[in-house]
Amino acid sequence: MVVDASVAVKWVIQEPGTAAAIALRSGMPLLAPDLLIPECANILWKKVRRQELSQAEAQLAARLLQRARLDLRPTLPLLPLALEMAVRLAHPAYDCMYLALAVAENTVVVTADGRFARAAGGHAGWRRHIDLLA
């Protein structure tokens, strides 16, 4: 399955949904577009700016993410489908990269982003490729 940054960050930062996110790691192999790395870095940066994490805690989280067993795939081949999805769903293209990878791999993308799940789940052609982290 494909995981997005909203799930991956829960592996290293305690927040609602952390237990469910960690449970995913014991199952089948996990995939993500390489976009996950800068997205996770941005999430950690925001948490430091909001004083939810110290810089040292964010650095530790980043090092833990570096060690996560995750098969990262390049985004360039996903660009045409991700753009088509973004236009049809009226949703940001960077989220659609995860969905495009799920479609390309004939699997699901697991997200903790309810807005993304609702947008993708509302399109009949891509509904079976989205799963909201419980």
Q: Inform me whether the pLDDT recorded for 14 exceeds 90.
A: yes
The mean predicted confidence, pLDDT, of the chain is 95
Give Dmax over CA atoms of the chain in angstroms.
44
User: Given this model, what pLDDT does residue 28 score?
Assistant: 79
Return the residue matching tokens 């040292």. Answer: 56
What percentage of the chain carries pLDDT values higher than 90? Answer: 87
Domain count across the chain: 1
Q: Inform me whether the pLDDT recorded for 134 exceeds 70.
A: no
Q: Inform me whether the pLDDT recorded for 119 exceeds 90.
A: yes
Say if strands 31-33 and 130-132 run parallel, antiparallel, or are unpaired: unpaired
DSSP assignment of the chain, as one string? -EE-HHHHGGGTS--TTHHHHHHHTTSS--EEETTHHHHHHHHHHHHHHTTSS-HHHHHHHHHHHHTS--EEE-SGGGHHHHHHHHHHHTS-HHHHHHHHHHHHTTS-EEES-HHHHHHHHTSTTTGGGEEE--
Where residue 92 sits, what CATH number does that domain have? 3.40.50.1010
User: Given this model, what pLDDT does residue 120 score?
Assistant: 93
pLDDT in tens, 59-109: 999 999 999 999 999 999 999 999 999 999 999 999 999 999 999 999 999
Q: Inform me whether the pLDDT recorded for 12 exceeds 90.
A: yes
User: Given this model, what pLDDT does residue 82 score?
Assistant: 97
Q: Could you tell me the residue range of the domain that residue 80 belongs to?
A: 2-132
Q: Is the dihedral of CA 86, 89, 92, 95 positive or negative?
A: negative
Q: Inform me whether the pLDDT recorded for 27 exceeds 90.
A: no
Average pLDDT over residues 9-33: 92
d(CA 114, CA 103): 19
